[in-house]
């Protein structure tokens, strides 16, 4: 007997389970019963989902294959859609301001927004919806058809039946119309054979299958790719037998040549016929139309580009050739448009030089606008501001403007009291005056503190005139010192020309007098002076 494979915690539990089974076989221990109180047949393998017929088992013996746990809290019911519980006569406090129902608020109202809500009119109060809450089990949450009403499928059946009825009615009207026309022709034409054929054509067989489904394109059995030479498969022959063969369109011997091996006829078999009546104009038509013409132009471009020295080959690199051809077309279009724009810019376009209508020049329209004597708009240009479903212009804490209506020093605030602290209480004009007074007091304190601080006067440094400094014009020079300074300047220039005359021990005097500066300026060479060569 096969037993159920159970995982035991220890060898002792396994041994006790075997002893219990042996005792039950001998009748010394009570038989095992299920949750319904019925005895479990020990001869049925516990791992089988369906017992053999000879064991007379009414249901699966495994515990996990039976409904061993059912929670009474779970339910399989669904929402009562569209159910209403109460119809009020007037508006109630806390109800929806739009429709007047108590089961939702105005933000979640699904009715059309009224011009004046039910809160103010107390008319056309919407009934309260039925609100239910269910606790579904595992299967109930995942049941995609939970709550589906099978009666709604009757609408689908009615729609299809109405369509079939309309189709039958239309076919019957067409049949009667054709029979009436036939009867009118029957008076003029006395040939009975033709009338019988017309009757057969006018009969409408409603049981006739669609032509596309009835005609299965003449199946052809072929053997393809098997070890024995191919696998038997169905290959559909796409030739429509109703079409006239191309070689039968013109039986003239000197007409277009038909090649039976390739089944091709390049020339037009009926060149003199009306093009609107022909459905075959020869195989050459396919070569000069559609994608075949684009492929031919691509080949020509590849040949011409190769002749001009570009490394391009249609068979070796077809993707490269196609990409180059696309780039060539784009560049050609850009060049063409650039040339056209240049010509239009230079010579103009006479086609666009027509005079504009007077209505467009003066900006006339049919919109009526009324003005007063001062020129202000009274009526006609007002625009209705769209309102959202959210709260707007809600003033809190005695404010008369919303937060963000005022901006100063990179801070947002209230325009009514010029406060930058959000959710603060509005102080009005008094708060504005107090804030301005505090600001003025702070500025006066800062100014008083700045004036009270004694800044020491900067000490004037007496410096002698140095090289590059400017000497005032009203200075009085000593002629003797100026003569000595001129001599010193000549000696210094001689030393600069010949450094060998410079002594070893040189004493430098950093003090420069006004006479020395004047001597330097008198001896200085001005390169922009035209008479500089005649100075010395």
Q: What is the pLDDT of residues 411-426, one digit of tens each?
A: 899 989 888 888 888 9
Choose among 207, 188, 189: nearest CA to 197. 189
- Specify the pLDDT at position 462: 47
Average pLDDT of the segment spanning 365-370? 75
d(CA 460, CA 464): 13
- Specify the pLDDT at position 103: 92
pLDDT band per the 50, 70, 90 thresholds, residue 193: low
Give yes or no for residue 239 having a pLDDT over 80.
no
Hey, what's the torsion of the CAs at 412, 418, 421, 424, to 10 degrees? -130
Domain membership flag for residue 365:
no
Domain membership flag for residue 49:
yes
244 vs 55, higher pLDDT? 244
pLDDT band per the 50, 70, 90 thresholds, residue 95: very high
Range name among 310-314, 375-379, 387-391, 520-524 with the lowest pLDDT average: 387-391
What is the end-to-end Cα distance of the chain in Å, rounded? Answer: 142
Which helix or strand (DSSP H or E) is residue 221 part of? strand 219-224
Residue 60 and residue 91 in contact, taking contact as beta carbons nearer than 8 Å? no
Domain boundary among 347, 380, 413: 347
- Specify the pLDDT at position 40: 59
Domain membership flag for residue 60:
yes
Domain membership flag for residue 490:
no
Give yes or no for residue 437 having a pLDDT over 80.
yes
Domain count within the chain:
3
Domain boundary among 378, 411, 431: 431
Domain boundary among 65, 80, 97: 65
pLDDT band per the 50, 70, 90 thresholds, residue 216: very low
- Cα torsion 306, 312, 315, 320: sign: negative
Domain membership flag for residue 477:
no
Q: Please give the structure tokens belonging to residue 78.
A: 């669904």
- The pLDDT tens digits for 23-47 are 766 665 555 555 555 555 555 444 4
Range of the domain at 405: 395-431
pLDDT band per the 50, 70, 90 thresholds, residue 151: confident
How many residues does the structure list for the chain? 536
For the ranges 10-19, 221-230, 446-455, the one whose mean pLDDT is highest: 446-455
Average pLDDT of the segment spanning 514-523? 84
- The pLDDT tens digits for 123-139 are 999 999 998 888 888 88
For the ranges 208-217, 221-230, 321-330, the one whose mean pLDDT is highest: 321-330
Largest CA distance in the chain: 158
d(CA 222, CA 237): 11
Domain membership flag for residue 244:
no
The pTM of the full predicted model, rounded to 2 decimals, is: 0.25
Q: Please give the structure tokens belonging to residue 285.
A: 């038509």
> Looking at the DSSP assignment, which residues form a beta bridge with residue 86?
128
Residue 125 and residue 99 in contact, taking contact as beta carbons nearer than 8 Å? yes
The SS3 assignment for 273 reads coil
CA–chain centroid gap for 362, Å, is: 41
| Cβ count near 21 (within 10 Å) | 15
Question: Taking all residues of the chain, what is their mean pLDDT, rounded to a whole number?
Answer: 77
Helices marked H in 50-152 — which ranges?
118-121, 138-141
Domain membership flag for residue 304:
yes
Domain membership flag for residue 438:
no
- The pLDDT tens digits for 458-508 are 555 544 444 445 556 667 788 888 888 888 888 888 777 776 666 666 666
Give yes or no for residue 160 having a pLDDT over 90.
yes
- How do 406-408 and 377-379 pair as beta strands? unpaired
322 vs 55, higher pLDDT? 322
């Amino acid at each position: 007997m096969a037993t159920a494979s159970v995982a035991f915690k220890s060898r002792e539990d396994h041994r006790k389970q075997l002893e219990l089974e042996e005792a039950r076989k001998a009748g010394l221990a009570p038989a095992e019963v299920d949750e319904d109180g019925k005895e479990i047949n020990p001869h049925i393998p516990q791992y089988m989902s369906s017992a053999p017929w000879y064991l007379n088992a009414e249901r699966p013996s495994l515990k996990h294959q039976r409904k061993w746990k059912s929670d009474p809290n779970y339910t399989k019911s669904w929402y009562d859609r569209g159910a209403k519980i109460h119809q009020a006569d007037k508006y109630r406090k806390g109800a929806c301001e739009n429709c007047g129902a108590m089961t939702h608020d105005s933000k979640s109202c699904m009715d059309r927004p009224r011009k004046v809500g039910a809160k103010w009119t107390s008319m056309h109060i919407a009934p309260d919806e039925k609100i239910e809450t269910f606790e579904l089990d595992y299967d109930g949450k995942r049941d995609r058809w939970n709550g589906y009403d099978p009666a709604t499928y009757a609408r689908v059946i009615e729609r299809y039946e109405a369509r079939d009825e309309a189709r039958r009615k239309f076919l019957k009207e067409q049949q009667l119309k054709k029979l009436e026309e036939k009867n009118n022709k029957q008076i003029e034409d006395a040939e009975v054979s033709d009338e019988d054929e017309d009757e057969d054509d006018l009969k409408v067989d409603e049981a006739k299958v669609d032509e596309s489904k009835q005609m299965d394109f003449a199946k052809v059995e072929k053997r393809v790719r098997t070890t024995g030479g191919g696998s038997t498969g169905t290959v559909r022959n796409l030739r429509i037998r109703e079409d006239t063969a191309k070689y039968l369109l013109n039986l003239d011997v000197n007409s277009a040549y038909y090649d039976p091996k390739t089944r091709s006829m390049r020339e037009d078999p009926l060149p003199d016929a009306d093009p609107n009546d022909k459905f075959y104009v020869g195989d050459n038509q396919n070569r000069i139309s559609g994608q075949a013409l684009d492929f031919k132009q691509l080949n020509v471009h590849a040949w011409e580009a190769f002749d001009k020295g570009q490394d391009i080959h249609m068979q070796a690199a077809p993707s490269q050739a196609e990409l180059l051809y696309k780039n060539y077309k784009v560049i050609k279009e850009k060049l063409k448009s650039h040339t056209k724009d240049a010509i239009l810019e230079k010579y103009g376009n006479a086609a666009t030089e027509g005079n504009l209508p007077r209505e467009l020049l003066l900006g006339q329209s049919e919109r009526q606008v009324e003005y007063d004597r001062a020129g202000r708009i009274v009526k006609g240009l007002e625009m209705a501001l769209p309102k959202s479903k959210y709260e707007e212009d809600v003033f809190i804490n005695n404010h008369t403007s919303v937060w963000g209506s005022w901006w100063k020093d990179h801070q947002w605030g209230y325009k009514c009291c010029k406060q930058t602290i959000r959710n603060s209480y509005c102080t009005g004009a008094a708060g504005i005056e107090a804030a301005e007074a505090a600001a003025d007091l702070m500025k006066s304190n800062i100014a008083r503190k700045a004036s009270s601080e004694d800044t020491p006067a900067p000490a004037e440094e007496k410096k002698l005139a140095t090289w590059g400094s400017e000497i005032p014009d009203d200075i009085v020079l000593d002629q003797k010192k100026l003569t000595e300074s001129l001599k010193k300047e000549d000696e210094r220039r001689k030393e600069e020309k010949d450094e060998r005359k410079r002594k070893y021990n040189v004493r430098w005097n950093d003090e420069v007098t006004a006479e020395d500066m004047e001597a330097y300026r008198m001896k200085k060479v001005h390169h922009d002076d035209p008479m500089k060569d005649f100075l010395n």
